[in-house]
Amino acid sequence: MPGRVAYFGPAGTFTEEAALRYAPHGELVPRPTIAAVAAAVVAGEAQEGVVPIENSLEGSVTDTLDLLIHQSNLFIQRELVLPIVHCLLVRPGAREEDIRVIYSHPQALGQCRDYLEHRFPQASAMAAMSTAAAAEQVQKSDHPTAAAIGTARAAEIYGLSVLARGIQDNPANVTRFVVLAHTDHPPTGDDKTSLCFSFSNDTPGLLYAALGEFARRGINLAKVESRPTKQSLGQYIFLIDLHGHREDPEIKEAIRRLQAQASTLKIFGSYPRYVASNG
């Protein structure tokens, strides 16, 4: 069972909600950045860390991808998928027509863009470090013109009122979180593997040949994307999620063949595929 679990905080964020679902009886340890969550696990201050990695509307969380690629030797041990329900939070007594500035994390602002443009065309959208930090900023404000986009739990923590609930533009808005640990997960029979690779030379057909190692073996690729190497313009690292465990014979052979073609290859981990609860 999880003991101390670090998460991208503070309290009142969607990451805290994901951490609570993953480890309802664990000791949750908030950290101010994604990198700080990983550092807490590396230093032994926590056994595991929960961070966001992908949103269904806004795409990948680049801080988490860059951490996995460049900075961390931790593995993905689990994945969690959480429905995202954004709320408009205000000081008690504030009215919709009073609002002139709305604070939130840039991802949350992006996920509510249409709502904000239609309901608050004159209001300024201001970035905050997190949805919880936005709620705290509204709490500390002396003006009823400030609002925040955040969680219902953040409203409870910071003594705010929920003026509107479910304001995200797409009702299918979900965020995928991953649990970082010193090891990944043993095979379960229904797994996913995440890895990245890059090439030293740019020649026609390189990526086609690399991905073909999986296609020829009937291995499904759930996700393919790229990130800059941060070394030179036009050089990229390719990231893939595939169905199966890195110890499965076909996947193990495909990765071995890919490694022979790539200049770098890093396995982020194999872990059970998330399955939504019927409850």
**pLDDT tens-digit readout, 64-102:** 999 999 887 999 999 999 999 999 999 999 999 999 999
Burial of 57-86, coded b for 16+ CB within 10 Å and e otherwise, reads bbebbeebbbbbbeebebbbbbbbebebeb
- pLDDT the model gives residue 204: 87
Q: What would the CATH number be for the domain defined by 87-165?
A: 3.40.190.10
Q: Identify whether 177 is a catalytic site residue.
A: yes
How far, in whole angstroms, is CA 151 from its chain's centroid? 16
- Length of the chain counted residue by residue: 279
Distances (CA, A) of 156 to 143, 164, 166, 185: 19, 14, 16, 36
**4-84+173-181 and 87-165, same CATH topology:** yes
Query: Is 278's pLDDT higher than 80?
Result: no
**CATH superfamily for domain 191-272:** ACT domain (3.30.70.260)
Q: Are 160 and 92 in contact (CB under 8 A)?
A: yes
Looking at domain 4-84+173-181, its CATH class is: alpha beta
* Alpha carbons 37 and 45: distance in angstroms, whole number: 10
Query: Is 279's pLDDT higher than 60?
Result: no
* Alpha carbons 34 and 6: distance in angstroms, whole number: 10
Higher pLDDT, 277 or 196: 196
- pLDDT the model gives residue 2: 65
* Alpha carbons 146 and 259: distance in angstroms, whole number: 53
* Alpha carbons 36 and 131: distance in angstroms, whole number: 18
pLDDT, mean of residues 100-117: 94
Query: Is 46's pLDDT higher than 90?
Result: yes
In 3D, which of 218, 202, 217 has the Cα closest to residue 257?
217
- pLDDT the model gives residue 118: 95
Sorted by sequence, the CB contacts under 8 Å of residue 248 that are 6+ apart come out as 187, 191
Q: What is the mean pLDDT of the chain?
A: 93
Query: Is 49's pLDDT higher than 90?
Result: yes
Among 8, 14, 75, 177, the one annotated catalytic: 177
Tokens representing 235? 């050089």
| 191-198: strand order across its sheet | 221-228, 236-243, 191-198, 264-272
Percentage of the chain exceeding pLDDT 90: 83
- pLDDT the model gives residue 1: 52
Query: Is 143's pLDDT higher than 80?
Result: no
3-class DSSP state of 45: coil
3-class DSSP state of 185: coil
pLDDT, mean of residues 181-206: 94
- pLDDT the model gives residue 232: 77
Tokens representing 49? 């860390």
Distances (CA, A) of 235 to 90, 199, 229, 231: 45, 8, 6, 7
Percentage of the chain exceeding pLDDT 70: 98
- pLDDT the model gives residue 141: 86
- pLDDT the model gives residue 234: 77
In the chain, DSSP finds a helix count (H) and a strand count (E) of 9, 15
Among 8, 175, 238, 268, the one annotated catalytic: 175
Q: Identify whether 229 is a catalytic site residue.
A: no
Plot region of 227 (φ>0 → left; ψ -120 to 50 → alpha; else → beta): beta
**pLDDT tens-digit readout, 212-260:** 999 999 999 999 999 998 887 778 999 999 999 999 999 999 999 999 9
Domain boundaries, the chain: 4-84+173-181, 87-165, 191-272
